[in-house]
């Protein structure tokens, strides 16, 4: 399934509904939904936040291949930023010790089973995978 969403934080409700529709249609155990929602929210929010002048919609794609769920977000007419190369600081025991920034991406890495990045012709795609077993 694929759907585009306006580049605004208010689109998150529609994204969550889209993900629930997919989960229901594929009869996926809802215990996986929290981590997929978190990944979608973090990645989408970053695309909105770090490209505020861009008016292109963001493409959200979700599929199931056997026991693997794949969630991709594609942003158009943007500069490259390979999140797989971004620092991956472990979360501190105390949140007040956190220096700021990167915590959401750290959580995505911990809750999902894989993360990949692709960039070509000013099109940036991030794909996260979740093992459904």
Residue 47, number of CB atoms within 10 A of its CB: 22
Residue in 50, 55, 47 with CA at minimum distance from that of residue 15: 47
CA-based angle 105:108:114, to the nearest 5? Answer: 115
* Residue 92: predicted pLDDT: 57
The mean pLDDT of the chain is 91
For residue 59, what are the domain limits? 2-131
What is residue 67's DSSP assignment?
T
- 95-105 tens-digit pLDDT: 555 555 567 88
pLDDT of residue 58: 98
What is the b/e burial string over 70-99, where b = at least 16 CB atoms within 10 angstroms of the residue's CB? ebbbbbbebeebebeeeeeeeeeeeeeeee
53-86 pLDDT per residue, tens: 999 999 999 999 999 999 999 999 999 999 888 7
Angle subtended by helix axes 12-26 and 33-50, to nearest 10: 150
Provide the CATH number for the domain around residue 111: 3.30.565.10
Report the number of distinct structural domains present in the chain: 1
Predicted confidence (pLDDT) at residue 36 exceeds the cutoff of 60? yes
List, in sequence order, every beta strand (DSSP E) within the chain.
2-5, 58-65, 68-76, 114-120, 123-131
pTM of the model: 0.89
Q: Predicted confidence band at 90 (pLDDT cuts at 50, 70, 90)?
A: low
Kindly state the helix (H) or strand (E) to which residue 78 belongs, with its residue range.
none
Lowest mean pLDDT among 2-11, 46-55, 56-65, 87-96: 87-96
Q: pLDDT confidence of 22, banded at 50, 70, 90?
A: very high
């Amino acid at each position: 399934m694929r759907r585009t969403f306006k580049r605004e934080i208010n689109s998150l409700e529609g994204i969550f509904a889209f993900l629930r529709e997919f989960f229901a249609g594929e009869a996926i155990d809802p215990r996986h939904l929290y981590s997929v929602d978190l990944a979608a929210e973090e990645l989408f929010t970053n695309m909105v936040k770090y490209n505020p002048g861009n008016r292109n919609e963001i493409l959200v794609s979700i599929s199931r291949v056997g026991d693997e769920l794949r969630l991709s977000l594609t942003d158009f007419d943007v500069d490259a930023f390979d999140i797989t190369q971004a620092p991956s600081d472990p979360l501190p025991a105390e949140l007040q010790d956190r220096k700021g920034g990167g915590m959401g991406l750290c959580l995505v890495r911990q809750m999902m089973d894989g993360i990949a990045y692709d960039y070509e012709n000013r099109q940036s795609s991030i794909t996260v995978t979740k093992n459904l077993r």
